[in-house]
Amino acid sequence: MIDVSRVINNPRLQTAFTVQRTPYTFANEGEWTPGTPANTNLKGLITPTKADDQVKYLPEGQRQANAITIYCTQPLLMSNGNGQESDVIVWNGDYYRVQFCKPWQQNGYYFAIATGFVHAN
């Protein structure tokens, strides 16, 4: 395998973005309760998502024109149905929810697709 993390970490190519991760805990009443969101600043490569990748990796209802592909060296989380919500990516003033993340750490990076949404303040 070829490790491409040097390309992803190249300061001339990478861009900064923020990851908002909200931990959830199981409450006494049997419901998931959101905790305090934590912001993490990361750097990586961000590109528009190709239509082929949307068809390949996203369910039909999640495909949209406002999708980005992220290549970074840190894992991004997607909703797992057991209390973990998807990470929110804040980039260029827009908000994106991680819909897909594949760990390609043998090649030195993670591949993620996030779709845009309107964020309520």
The fourth-level CATH superfamily of domain 5-117 is Bacteriophage SPP1 head-tail adaptor protein (2.40.10.270)
Between CA 17 and CA 53 the distance in angstroms is 21
Please report the pLDDT score of residue 76 as a whole number.
94
Does the pLDDT value for residue 94 go beyond 80?
A: yes
Domain range annotation of the chain: 5-117
Count of H-run helices and E-run strands, the chain: 2, 8
Give the pLDDT score at 121: 59
**Alpha carbon 22 to chain centroid, angstroms:** 13
Indicate the pLDDT class of residue 98, thresholds 50, 70 and 90: very high
Compare 88 and 60 and report the one with higher pLDDT.
88
How many Å apart are CA 121 and CA 104, to the nearest integer? 34
Rg (CA), the chain: 15
Instruction: Give pLDDT tens digits for 13-51.
Output: 899 999 999 877 666 666 667 777 899 999 999 999 998
